[in-house]
Amino acid sequence: MLQAAVETIQRIPAAAPRVALVLGSGLGGFASEVEGARRIPYVDIPGWPRSTAVGHAGELVLGTVSGVPVAVLSGRVHLYEGYTAREVAFATRVMGKLGVRTMLFTNAAGGLNLSYAQGSLVLIRDHINLMGENPCLGPNDDSLGPRFFDMTDAYSAELRSRILAKARELEIPLHEGVYLGLKGPNFETPAEIRFFGRIGADLVGMSTVPEVLAATHMGMRCAAISCVTNLAAGISGEKLSHDEVLETGVRVRATFVRLLKAILPEAAA
């Protein structure tokens, strides 16, 4: 199934992507930044799962951004939609098979770290997988990667330091933190958030972890940036809503786009 998707994408006349950028909730508009864009609806790619979440389009956009040949994944699927971790990781694996060496993920997340505000951007330093899922479960596909694989540098320290330097240069505040991944679809309870804070989480969200696992399994380099769309449950005492998540995404969008455009060349280096 991976091969059929790869072949479909390779038939599109566009430069082979060096970097793939996965757009989280509300960031779909970034696809309009792609020069010489060739758009492929996900429905036209064999085996590619369709996003059902509001705020997620469903197309792959090939072209260049800041001179870098990219694949922009406008819309992703999540475990809470009922997809398996393997389905969630399908797109990442297709990117790996296409020859993409660096995956850049974005997502919306709830902030636990008290130094974050609504709208803060946070570079993920590491993750805690409490999804109870993993795209690498089952017989190992040796053509993808080894049975057991190391996660020490899953969020490349070298790439992170270049991204942080670029953010400083642009005077865009960029925090660093540990992302805790959950299946959702509910936002967490305040008691859960207190627990997650104690075990070292700075952020909580419902995506990215399966994709980073699949990418690291394949030996790809990853970086991920969260937009803190809301303070996590119980921190401000306010109720959480998806509308708030989308609204904050829209508010931060211009800054996020500026940062992403600046770091794409770093991700290609």
CB atoms within 10 A of CB 58: 20
# chain residues binding ligand HPA, by CB under 6 A: 13
Do residues 84 and 188 make contact, with C-beta atoms less than 8 angstroms apart?
no
Kindly tell me which residue out of 53, 131, 178, 204 binds ligand HPA, with binding defined by CB under 6 A: 204
Q: What are phi and psi of 259, to 5 degrees?
A: -65, -45
Nearer to ligand HPA, 96 or 110 (CB): 110
Instruction: Decide: is 208 part of the binding site for ligand HPA (CB under 6 A).
Output: no
* Shortest CB 64 distance to ligand HPA, Å: 30
Instruction: Decide: is 206 part of the binding site for ligand HPA (CB under 6 A).
Output: yes
Task: Tell me whether strands 174-181 and 121-129 are parallel, antiparallel or unpaired.
Answer: parallel
Give the separation between CA 251 and CA 26, rounded to whole angstroms: 10
Kindly tell me which residue out of 85, 245, 260, 264 binds ligand HPA, with binding defined by CB under 6 A: 245
Q: What residue number has its CB nearest to ligand HPA?
A: 110
* Shortest CB 171 distance to ligand HPA, Å: 26
Kindly tell me which residue out of 205, 209, 211, 263 binds ligand HPA, with binding defined by CB under 6 A: 205
Which stretch of DSSP H or E encloses residue 165? helix 157-170
Stretch that binds ligand HPA, among 38-46, 94-102, 104-112, 163-171 (CB under 6 A): 104-112
DSSP secondary structure letter of residue 3: H
Nearer to ligand HPA, 162 or 242 (CB): 242
Instruction: Decide: is 110 part of the binding site for ligand HPA (CB under 6 A).
Output: yes
CB atoms within 10 A of CB 214: 27
181: Cα within 13 Å, side-chain hemisphere:
23
CA dist 9 → 94, 135, 143 (Å): 9, 22, 20
Q: What are phi and psi of 235, to 5 degrees?
A: -75, -45
Sign of the torsion formed by the C-alpha atoms of 6, 88, 69 and 26: positive
Instruction: Decide: is 109 part of the binding site for ligand HPA (CB under 6 A).
Output: yes
* Shortest CB 216 distance to ligand HPA, Å: 22
Which amino acid type is present at position 114? L
Instruction: Decide: is 108 part of the binding site for ligand HPA (CB under 6 A).
Output: yes
Q: Which of residues 224-243 bind ligand HPA (CB under 6 A)?
A: 229-230, 232, 240
Greatest pairwise CA separation for the chain in angstroms: 51
User: Token digits for 228?
Assistant: 């803190």
Stretch that binds ligand HPA, among 106-114, 121-129, 130-138, 255-263 (CB under 6 A): 106-114
- Which residues have a catalytic role annotated? 25, 56, 78, 80-81, 108, 206-207, 230, 242
Angle, CA 173 vertex, CA 182 and CA 121 arms, to 5°: 20
The 170-199 site mask, x for binding ligand HPA (CB under 6 A), equals -----------------xx-----------
Q: Which residues bind ligand HPA (CB under 6 A)?
A: 108-110, 187-188, 204-206, 229-230, 232, 240, 245
